[in-house]
Every structure is written in structure tokens, then in C-alpha cells.
Amino acid sequence: MRSSSVFTLLSAITGAVAFHAEPPANVPRSIEEFRQKHPYTPKAHDSRRRVVKIRSSRNDTDDVSDEFKAGLKKANHGGTLYLPKNELFIIGKPLDLTFLNDVQVHWDGEVKFTNDTPYWQANAFVHPFQTSIMFWKWGGKDIKIYGDGILNGNGQRWWNEFAGGEILDPTNKYLRPILFYAENATNLEMQGIHEKDSPCWTNFIVTSKGVSFTDVVVTAVSNNASSLPKNTDFFDSLNVEDLTVKRTWVDIGDDCFSPKSNASNVHVDTMYCNGTHGQSIGSLGQYAGEMSFVKDVVIENVWLLNGQHGARLKTWAGPDIGYGLIDNVTFRNFYHANNEYAAFIDSCYFNIPTETCAQYPSRMNLTNISFENFTGYTSGKYGLAVARLTCSTNPDAVCENITFKNFNITSPCGGDPVIICDGVKGDIGVDCVSSSSPEAIAALANKCSVPLATISPPF
């Protein structure tokens, strides 16, 4: 998915139809405007906490990993590790930081990982979920990371070497590290940090409770048009409870937000996503015999530009899959500009052949899903089809109480928008047609395109 930190002017003519649209007023179109609209100033050190400093790196090869870990040990149990502005801290080996208890990191400088890809692939920590590897692992209790500094994954070499690969390909041997990983954490907070150029997922939080990300900026921008960032999701999780994400700017090459198995009590409020794959639930049901769930989720006040899909739920099908549920999920107050489907249920996720999905349909239950107050327009890739809900054909998989309210998405292709739904039980609140219907076939055939979306300057 093409990504751009400053969006280009929207003005499209498709065939003989002129299409003009403009996002709502005061939508930021750069990091600077995001910070202007949502100011963030790190608080001064708490005078009651001791402050620990470590030496900074002299250059890009001066590894201060040992000093970083020692600094956290010294600041542990009531102190603050301070990383001053305009100072660089190079991390060149994996760090186990799972011993933390009541520690803060005032992060105004830049922490940057080396890009020695053979070294990290041989020495990084490993998690079995999708064969994830990570530079370091954080964990413990009452951890606060705050400041206007940078966490730099130095991802360009990784993207170049991975180009053409697929993370979910079982034959893939080229593993890329996750930028920030935490496990068994309670009350973990990140504020203000710019997470930059992750080789793979930006954040992966596992078996944790009370997690929050606030006022963070996440970017992954390539200098090589043939090696774009891939799988650089802003947020992924496994077994997480009580999660809050507020005021984030995300310009990457994959999911803007994507809790995976076993997430509950999730609230996302105010996100700007450019060039992403959307606000996703899942994927779920990937592993044979494993029960997984996502429940009690509200995702609201989201702007999605120049991406793949908008609000989407994705589950696996096939002969060796898991089972479970997605329940009580609300997508509310979404603005779309130049995305494919504004709302999308995919019960045959990740390149599974259609005939395989028909023979071995998803075993995930989808209930109480709401799409509320959606405005904007699609990319025209699927013609007049602006949303598509494809539920599992498995007789034991429930797909009901899926509702639309104030869903005002248009297509740039010059006709009435169409919503396609298959297998949904009950009334969804709007007109929808089967994918095999003449209306759906005609809608999908009426394709068009628009340039990248923006707002009219000035902000």
C-alpha cells in the first residue's frame, strides 16, 4: 500500500464523471499538524523519583546495550531513566527487560537498533505466534515510557532484504524483529514517543493487563520504491486485557490497529491512519484446535486515508484451524478517503483458495458488531461496492446482529453505493445484496480510481 506523509491534493476525473471530495476541517495532514492539533509536552521529572542517566553513543556503531539495561536496573523500584534530547543510544544486542517494577523512562533522545540482519536473526528473542522475533522484551509492573524522543528500528535494510516475501508463508525463513515487545506487563504506559521504521510489527504486547498508548506517532517510510514497509502494524496483541489507545498518528504499510487472539476491554479513540490496511480485528482462528476471542471493543473517531480497507474483521478458514468468537465490537465515527471497502468481514483470510474456504469454512462466531457514523468515499477499486460482509458458511459458526447506522459512504465511480453481504443472519439496518446478485456483479464491475487523498491547505 502506497504511503505518503504529506497527502497530495484530491481532484479526480473518472471517465466523464468529475469527483471532488474533501475531508472534514482541521484534519492534520502531517506530523507537525498532528502535534499542533493534539499538543504533547513531556512533564518534568517527578522530583520524588531519583533520576538515572547513562552515557550516549558516540556514533552509529557504539553499542550502549549494557549501559541501557544497567540504567533501568538502577532506576527500578521508584526511579526514572533519563534519555536527553539530541543524544543517540545504539542497541546492538537483545535485552531482557522483564524485571521492571515501578520504573519510568523519560525518553527525549533517540534509541536506535543496529541493522545487522544476520546477527539479529540468529540472536533475537522468539515468540511462536507467527514465528515472531524481537530486539528486546519489556515486562513487569508499573512501567511508564514518556517523552518526545524516537525509537528507531532502522528498518530499511530489513525491508530491502524481505522484498517479495510474506510473513505468513510457512516457508518464509527471513524473520524481522518487532520494534517494541512486552510480555507479562501490568500497567504499561507509552506516551509521546515517535516509533520509527520498524522492520516488522511496531508493537506486540503479550499476556498483559492495563496497557495504554497515548499521543504516539508511528511511521515507516521507505527510500526504495521497490521495497516498501511490510507488516509494520502499529499494534498487535495476544492475551491482553484493558487496553487504551488515544490520539495516534500512523503512517505505515499494514494494519493501523490489529488486536489478535484474546483481547478484551479495548478502547481506541482518535487515530489518523494513512496508507494502512485499516482498523482490524484479528486475524483469528489461525492455529488448529486453539480457541481465541476478541470482545468488548470500541474504536471511534478514526480518519483512514489512502489505505486498503477501513473497519475490518478477519478470520481463517481451512482444514486445520481454530475456533472462537468476536463479540461486542463497535466501529464509530469513521471518515474514509480512498480506501477499498469501508467495512469488511473476511472469513477466508490470507490467500486461502475459495474452494478450500467452502470445504472448510471458518469456525469463528461473529456477534454484535456495529458500524456507526461512517462518512467519506472509497477508492473505486471495487466499483460501487463500498462494504462487504462475508460470513462463514459453517453451520456451527454464528454471524448475527451485524448492524449499520448512519453509514454514508460513497463511491467515486458515479452511481449509488452498494453493500454486499453473504451469510449474515437478520437485518443489518441498510439494504444489502448477495455477491451473486446482478446488482453486486454490476457494482463490482463499475470500477474507477482516484488519486491520493488530502485536505485543502492550510490546516
Indicate if 320 belongs to the active site. Answer: no
User: Which residue among 106, 194, 277, 309 is the active-site one?
Assistant: 277
Rounded to an integer, what distance in angstroms lies between the CA atom of residue 107 and that of residue 82?
A: 6
The residue with cell 511508564 is 144
How buried is residue 281: exposed, middle or buried, by Cβ count under 10 Å (0-12/13-18/19+)?
A: buried
- Alpha helices (H) in 101-191, listed in sequence order: 117-123, 156-162
Whether the CB-CB separation of 182 and 215 falls below 8 Å is answered with no
Which helix (H) or strand (E) covers residue 438, if one does?
Answer: helix 438-445
User: Which residue among 197, 215, 254, 327 is the active-site one?
Assistant: 254
Burial call 135-164: b when 16+ CB within 10 Å, e when fewer: bbbbbbebbbbbbbbbbbbbbbebbeebee
Computed on alpha carbons and rounded to an integer, the radius of gyration of the chain in Å comes to 22
CA dihedral defined by 236, 240, 246, 252, rounded to 10 degrees? 0
Rounded to an integer, what distance in angstroms lies between the CA atom of residue 295 and that of residue 290?
A: 17
Phi and psi at residue 40, to the nearest 5°: -135, 120
Rounded to an integer, what distance in angstroms lies between the CA atom of residue 294 and that of residue 367?
A: 11
Query: Residue 355: left (phi > 0), alpha (psi -120 to 50), or beta?
Result: alpha
Measuring CA to CA, which residue among 391, 402, 388, 400 is closest to residue 362?
391
Indicate if 277 belongs to the active site. Answer: yes
* Start-to-end CA span in the chain (Å): 25
Strand pairing report for 125-127 and 132-134: antiparallel
* Positions marked active-site: 254, 277
